[in-house]
Amino acid sequence: MNNRLMQQLGDKIKYANFSAEDAAKLYLSYAKITKNYGAAIRAVQTKLEILDEDFELLHEHNPIHHMETRVKSIESILEKLTRKGYPLTGQAITEGLTDVAGIRVICHYVEDIYTIADLLKRQADIQVVKETDYIKHPKPNGYRSYHLVVKVPVFFVDGVVEMPVEVQIRTMAMDFWASLEHKLRYKSDGLIPKFIADELKECSETIAASDLKMQRIHSFLEDIEHNLQLPELVDETLSQEAEREGN
């Protein structure tokens, strides 16, 4: 291994439980890691695209706005292996790090999140490893999202491998908050004063309320579209709105 690469690795593995030589080997094998986990991402992403298209055909609504994908960087893999005290092996990466491959699914409405999650979990070849609902149970900082870790079979030349993929499903509003919160926290090196953290959490609550309001508007318009007695439904709704404003 050349000295330049070893020097570049020095700071990254200062507190690691493995040698610079082992870390350098991981760098060289990263191409294979990227290929394998990239294939797993494509397998799950294709399933989601098919589900979105089929749902649109049946219900005239696309639950997915867009998707973003990534394979964790080699630096992040090294850092996480070190932090968790795992050995530098392929098995440790596959079994210990369930978020090497990630898909972020951005939906229009909260209801869409649960629709997509349920449809994906019902796939015969999908194995749910972990499921966390940060929408019903937000993190203390206000973070909201629906997380799934699934295993999907990927067919390589040498055989089939069950690969883990982390799927984060959230609305556009949730993604807006999470992206800015992450950027602000990164900019301040994670040291955010309490009053700023409180402001961010309040913003999260406001965005969550807006999400629910948009969901109600969407559901109402869908009811109008499919309800045969449109005049009565509209008149009743207008009367209820006027009564609320009067109070």
The answer to whether residues 40 and 99 touch, using CB atoms and an 8 Å cutoff, is: no
Residues 6+ apart with CB under 8 A from 200: 141, 142, 177, 181, 184, 192
**CB atoms < 10 A from the CB of 173, how many?**
21
The DSSP H or E segment spanning 102 is: strand 101-107
In 3-state terms, what secondary structure has residue 40?
helix
The answer to whether residues 165 and 97 touch, using CB atoms and an 8 Å cutoff, is: no
User: How far is it, in rounded angstroms, from Cα 214 to Cα 235?
Assistant: 21
Residues 6+ apart with CB under 8 A from 9: 20, 23, 24, 27
Question: Mind telling me the catalytic residues?
Answer: 166
Question: Locate tokens 């309040």: which residue?
Answer: 202
**CB atoms < 10 A from the CB of 134, how many?**
17
The answer to whether residues 166 and 99 touch, using CB atoms and an 8 Å cutoff, is: yes
User: How far is it, in rounded angstroms, from Cα 104 to Cα 215?
Assistant: 20
